[in-house]
Structure 1
Amino acid sequence: MKKLLLFFVPMFIMAYSLNAQSTAGEDSNYGKVIHIGKSDFLEKIYDYEKNPDKWVYNGKKAAIIDFYADWCGPCRMLSPTLKSLAEKYKDDIIIYKVNTDEERELAAAFGITSLPTLLFIPMDEMPQVAQGALPKKELEKAINDFLIK
């Protein structure tokens, strides 16, 4: 009996700690801007291939998606603001970035023709789009009035 306990107790502790680490990994990006591609977009946000006619948000928090390109000056100017907002609102929203040069199919699926384009996704409503590098105050107003009410 003692030998069984000596075997199972360490196994239980190891399994528990591995589970705690993997759960912490999910939350470790909160407060950061997360760069995603098509596969993550389909999994974490909206699978437009599976549901082309109906918006079904897969996220656990309201989100902002920044469709950008590295060569885009206004996109580069907006980036520090989004980092700041991701940290400030880490308990309420997630901010994602999609590089439209690398994810052309994803950009085309959402009709992205101007950069930056921001997609605001509340939990229980249809998303809304804003184009251009919005000032921080306007972004905070959209977050407070539309995303987290």
Structure 2
Amino acid sequence: MNNTKIITINDNNFEKLITQEKKLLIIDFWAEWCNPCKILSPILEEIAVEYQDKLTIAKINIDQNPNTAPKYSIRGIPALLFFKDSNLLMTKIGSLSKVQLKEILDKHLIVS
């Protein structure tokens, strides 16, 4: 993940990122053992490149960062949280196809 546009965050800098990010922010809650997370990961990397001027994607490993997921009532992964101007716009639990994710993004980016 060296040349990726996706940033890695943790419990300590999660809130700071939400409050400081001006673009649409997608946060991916994931874990190493989660197969749907592994399927979603390359899709997120493609989206991060295609939409780099419009959004920021961050990943948080729930095993290494146990405090953030419960604050957002996340009980299943992968879980994508969409933030804009510090506000949670929506939560999407489970894996998505690239087409499904682009539909969500296009809807929210037009509104934003």
TM-score by length of 1: 0.67
Distance, in Å, in 1 between the alignment partners of 2:61 and 2:88 is 23
Instruction: Give 1:90's aligned residue.
Output: 52
Instruction: Tell me the equivalent position of 2:6.
Output: 33
Greater helix share, 1 or 2? 1
Q: Percent identity?
A: 35
Partners of 1:126 and 1:102 in 2: CA distance: 23
Larger RCO (CA within 8 A; separation ≥ 6) = 2
The CA distance in 2 between the partners of 1:104 and 1:126, in whole Å, is 20
SS of corresponding position for 2:21: coil
Which ranges in structure 2 are unaligned for 5 or more consecutive residues? Answer: none
Gaps of 5+ in 1: 1-30, 46-56
Work out which of the residue numbers 111, 126, 135 in structure 1 matches 2:73: 111
> In the aligned structure 1, how far is the partner of 2:85 from the partner of 2:106?
13
Structure with larger Rg = 1
- Tell me if 1:68 matches 2:30: yes
Instruction: Measure the CA separation in 1 of the matches of 2:101 and 2:67.
Output: 27
Equivalent residue of 2:20, what SS?
A: coil
1:134 alignment counterpart? 96
Partner letter of residue 7 of structure 2? I
The one-character-per-residue Cα deviations of 1:17-69 (angstroms, maximum 9, x if unpaired) are: xxxxxxxxxxxxxx711110022212111xxxxxxxxxxx4311111110000
**How far apart, CA to CA, are the structure 2 residues paired with 1:127 and 1:106?**
17
In 1, the alpha carbon distance for the partners of 2:81 and 2:104 equals: 11
Shift of 1:138: 0.8
Pairs aligned (count)? 107
- Aligned mates of 1:125, 1:107 — CA distance in 2: 16
Higher relative strand content = 2
Comparing 105-114 with 91-100, which one deviates more in the overlay? 105-114
Choose which of 73, 77, 99 in structure 1 pairs with 2:61. Answer: 99
Cα 1:108–1:89 shift into 2, 3 Å: same
**TM superposition score normalised by structure 2:** 0.88
Equivalent position SS for 1:84:
helix
